[in-house]
Amino acid sequence: MPMPWTYRQATREWQVFLADAREAMGLSSDNATYTAVQGVLRAFRRRLTPQQAVDFAQILPAVLRALFVADWHLSDPVPPGTRADWTAEAMALRPHHNLTPAHCVAATALALRKSVLRADLESVLATLPPFATEFWSTPGIDPATLGPRIV
């Protein structure tokens, strides 16, 4: 079997994702964007069982997948909450060095949808709790503009 594309092109995929997230958030640095994305991913992960989180991670590009599972301490999922809850959690990561904007969840969702195949994302979201679809939604965005640019 040939090496999966996401491992061969991990750096390129990550750089494109990070650039998309940085632009969508209006941030000026990769470091600030990284913190925002990390906070969003952790907020999502906290609401999943370990199996659900692993299932979701399977569709992510290699570096994003690693970030999603890094520093994970298994525990029972917390209640789904609202976009305001998810945003507050993302903004609370590294509070003294966090420039995460209030639209971080939507911006991360946009960057994610530009990095994964739509069918793969929709397939895994269908197996997750209902809040997951809302979490990764991008209302008002033309689906034709989404999907991986590196394949």
Give the domain ranges of the chain. Answer: 11-69+79-136
3-state secondary structure of 98: coil
Q: What is the CA radius of gyration of the chain?
A: 14
For the chain, 151 residues long, give each residue's pLDDT as a single digit of tens.
Answer: 788 877 789 999 999 999 999 999 999 999 999 999 999 999 999 999 999 999 999 999 999 999 999 999 999 999 999 999 999 999 999 988 889 999 999 999 999 999 999 999 999 999 999 999 999 999 998 888 888 876 5
* CA atoms of 33 and 76, how far apart (whole Å): 28
Exposure on the CB side of residue 105, measured as CA atoms within 13 A: 23
Closest CA to 36 of 91, 84, 88: 91
Are 36 and 108 in contact by the 8 Å Cβ rule? The answer is yes
Q: Which two tokens stand for residue 126?
A: 């269908």
* CA atoms of 59 and 78, how far apart (whole Å): 23
Class of CATH domain 11-69+79-136: mainly alpha
